[in-house]
Amino acid sequence: MRSVSNSQLQLGELDIADIKIDTRSRDDIPQLLQGLQYLYTDKTLRSDIFNVLEKLIPEETSAEHGRPGMALWNILVMGTLRLNLNCDYDRLLELANQHKTIRQMLGHGLIDDDETYNLQTIRDNVKKFTPEVLDEINQIVVRAGQSLKKKKR
């Protein structure tokens, strides 16, 4: 069974809420990471999004047999990056293995700095994160934003 995310922080790993993202950058990656960080820190929103992501797991998937799948949080991060940056799997592989802040967002700390993703693993898992799945998640985010706006009034 796929995990939502690793709930136990490893040595050198930062909690997603504590990751420092360069807010002065005009690049699109920090903006995407800030949005993902917000989604992760809002427990209700995160729960609703993971309910959508759990539909990506095939019913015949066994927790006891075969290779472990990628955590749903990692699929969300990589899928969001791939679709919003309009990048191919080779660029996504490079970002996931080499970009410090993205690696932190994926849950990597100092102790597993040499742990890298394989292209086929990314393809097999992230291809399930389709524009339709992103749209369903966007609808949840929009509703949450509208409810925040109503509370401020």
Nearest to 32 by CA among 82, 68, 100: 82
- The CA-based angle 49-127-78, given to 5 degrees, is 60
Long-range contacts of 47-54 (CB under 8 A, 24+ apart): 48/140, 48/144, 49/76, 49/137, 49/140, 50/4, 52/133, 52/136, 52/137, 52/140, 53/4, 53/133
Res. 10: pLDDT tops 90? no
How many residues make up the chain in this entry? Answer: 153
Confidence of residue 58 (pLDDT cuts 50, 70, 90): confident
Question: What pLDDT does 113 receive?
Answer: 72
When pLDDT is averaged across residues 12-30 and rounded to a whole number, the result is 90
Question: What pLDDT does 2 receive?
Answer: 40
Lowest-confidence range among 56-60, 86-90, 143-147?
Answer: 56-60
Q: Domains of the chain: which residue ranges?
A: 16-152
Q: Residues near 117 by Cβ (< 8 Å), separated by ≥ 6?
A: 93, 96, 97
